[in-house]
Amino acid sequence: MPSSAYSATSPDLDFYQDSKNKLETARPVVMMFPGPYCCHKTTTLAKLAYHLQEREVQGNGAADTFRAGAREQLEGHGRRVGFKVIGGPHDAVQHARAKGYHYVLIDTAGRMHADKT
């Protein structure tokens, strides 16, 4: 696994300290939320965006472009917690670079091992 990837299962992970260290060498820090259907990836992304903003860092989000209503759901969370949703992942990263944002949080479509696509 590349050193820039996070492993949420690591017992020694101090997420905030680790991401602060990454900001010294790369901006924005891009975090993707993969996983199966219905495992609260979008909600977790919104909660993380809220906690990051409490630490006075700026970021934006990119919506799952596969699931109907995914962008609207993420935009609803964004309005409540105060982060902006930008189209797809590529656009979100470009926007973050242009604005000097610290983070890009990318919501992904749920996938299962049996899916053909």
Segments making up each domain of the chain, as ranges: 25-107
**CATH code, 25-107:** 3.40.50.300
Note the pLDDT of residue 1.
40
Distance CA 36, CA 51 (A): 24
DSSP code of 85?
A: E
Structure tokens that stand for 47 in this block: 């909660």
Using alpha carbons, select from 63, 53, 74, 52 the residue that is nearest to residue 109.
63
Note the pLDDT of residue 2.
45
Note the pLDDT of residue 94.
92
Note the pLDDT of residue 57.
74
pLDDT tens digits in sequence order for the chain, 117 residues long: 444 555 555 666 677 777 777 777 878 888 888 888 888 888 898 998 898 888 777 788 877 777 788 888 888 998 998 888 888 888 889 998 999 888 899 988 877 666 666
